[in-house]
Amino acid sequence: MSDKYEEGMKTRRRVLGESYVDKAEANKTGFDEPFQTLITEGAWGTVWASDGISLRERSMLTLALLAALGNFDEIPMHIRATARTGASKQDVLEAFQHVAVYAGVPRANHALKLALATYAEMELD
């Protein structure tokens, strides 16, 4: 594997946690392996691995972008990741307030509901 892939896997494990990545890797098939390699190298090995901004800031940006674009499926995963990136509940609320003003209240509202449900699940774990 490439250096970007190796760096991406380290970053992905640091942000998402060992068990999440292990499960994703176990579910990988020959069909989606090229896609998994792409996101591991591009998203995790390039963007998330950059030291230009902190993991906390990346979490906030990622959550805001997911909400603003209506890509709600990954919000719970990235809320869980805040336990490792240092983004607080207040940080997430601030990010979603920006979404409300700049991308629309309904998207921010839905993202906030997902965050609240995910935080409640995290407290049970």
DSSP calls for 63-84: HHHHHHTT-GGGHHHHHHHHHH
pLDDT for 1 equals 79
Looking at the structure, give the CATH architecture of the domain made up of residues 54-124. Up-down Bundle (1.20)
Q: What is the pTM of this model?
A: 0.94
| Region of poorest pLDDT, from 1-5, 25-29, 31-35 | 1-5
pLDDT for 102 equals 98
Give pLDDT tens digits for 86-115: 999 999 999 999 999 999 999 999 999 999
**79: nearest Cα among 119, 52, 109, 106:** 119
- Listed by start position, the domains of the chain span 1-50, 54-124
Average pLDDT of every residue of the chain: 97
pLDDT for 125 equals 85
